[in-house]
Amino acid sequence: MVENLKIVHCGIFNEKENGNFFYGLERKISHGLIQNGHFVYDFSYRDIERNFRFMGIKDSGLKKMNQKLIDICKNIDIDILFLAKSEKIEKETLIRIKELLPNVKIIQWYVDHLEEDEAFFDKLNYIDIFYYANAKDLEKLSEKYKDTIFSFFPNISDPSFDKSINLEKTNDILYIARDHKEDIRSKFAVLLKEFCEKENISYEIFASLNNPPVFGNEFHKAIARAKIAINFNRDDYLEKINKEKVLGASDRMAQFLGSGICTFSPRINGFEKLYVEDQEIVYFDNINDCLNKVKCYLKDGKYNEIARKGQKKTFALTNSKRVTKFMLEVLFKEDKLDKYEWNEYIFKEGINL
């Protein structure tokens, strides 16, 4: 693999949050790139734009922030520009960077639902590789944006970030979801709360049902004091499996697994390549299946063993160094990729590479 690369990583580093998001994916990716022997310059584009604002007017710092990114890339003479969501980075900025540095490569990674505006998709024409933490639409995207490679990549969990804290297990169930009182996650939270209260099961719910969110080390403490964490996303269904999902899961699920808690998840197509069911993770097919399995696993006490095995597998498959090594191997078109469990989800022009 190419060594000693110079990389600018343009992401949401949340400097204004004073460390509350220290386990965010931006920092995990930068960490992995450094572990692989590369120089990484973090560019927190939202914070920088905010600092450039005139009288605090939203987005008034866009022009200066974009120019600063251009200047930094030029001054460092970078090999690769890594972009996170980068909704404030203009297409013209990418064009200018490529004009100044003809050999530069641009990677974008993305973990949210692809519900973006036209400007977001237009920039895909200037991206060398688009990494997405959901394999569902990659082939179709590659047919439309023919000069760009589209590849799955897993949400990273790494022992440098996702910690097991030794606390007494005072709660049976942990559920965290920012549902904004409007989607399927809110309904799931209501049913879970009613079930736990009926069955005398202790629980903590954050960021849902008018409960505050939890961040920073308090997030890891909340995980540590629970026996089971339940992951449920807005594209999941209450009564059935979403069969259209392919390897799609949240970074929160990766954080649960890496922090050493028995993790429950709706069944996800493709995850059988990563985890052994009922040994490293617990899948459920609908809300009733989930609640029945909660009672079962709390009763038999197997949650500790599942948590231990799930954490071990997570750190083996999706640690920072391994995932970023994969990202660079695809970029530089290594003749033979290492054996990654998701190799079949790399596409260009509708063809699996």
Same domain as 334, residue 300: no
In a domain, 84, yes or no: yes
Same domain as 279, residue 207: yes
CB 165 within 8 A of CB 221: yes
Phi-psi region for residue 59, left (φ > 0), alpha (ψ -120 to 50) or beta? left
Whether the per-residue pLDDT at 328 is higher than 80: the answer is yes
Query: What predicted TM-score, i.e. pTM, was given to this entire model?
Result: 0.95
Same domain as 273, residue 204: yes
In a domain, 192, yes or no: yes
Q: How far apart are the C-alpha atoms of 230 and 238, rounded to whole Å?
A: 13
Residue type, position 176, single letter: I
Residue 73, beta-bridge partner list: none
Same domain as 220, residue 96: no
In a domain, 291, yes or no: yes
pLDDT tens digits along 265-309: 999 999 999 999 999 999 999 999 999 999 999 999 899 999 999
Give the domain CATH number at 279: 3.40.50.2000
Q: Give the list of residues 6+ apart from residue 234 with CB closer than 8 angstroms, or none.
A: 113, 179, 183, 184, 185
Model confidence at 333, pLDDT cuts 50, 70, 90, reads confident
CB 119 within 8 A of CB 45: no
Domains: count for the chain: 2
Choose the weakest-confidence range: 114-118, 155-159, 334-338: 334-338
Model confidence at 312, pLDDT cuts 50, 70, 90, reads very high
In a domain, 166, yes or no: no
Same domain as 182, residue 109: no
> Which structural domain, as residue segments, surrounds residue 187?
171-317
Same domain as 152, residue 14: yes
The mean pLDDT value for 310-324 works out to 98
Same domain as 330, residue 286: no
Which residue has 């069955």 as its token pair? 199
In a domain, 161, yes or no: no
CB 209 within 8 A of CB 257: no
pLDDT tens digits along 41-74: 999 999 999 999 999 999 999 999 999 999 999 9
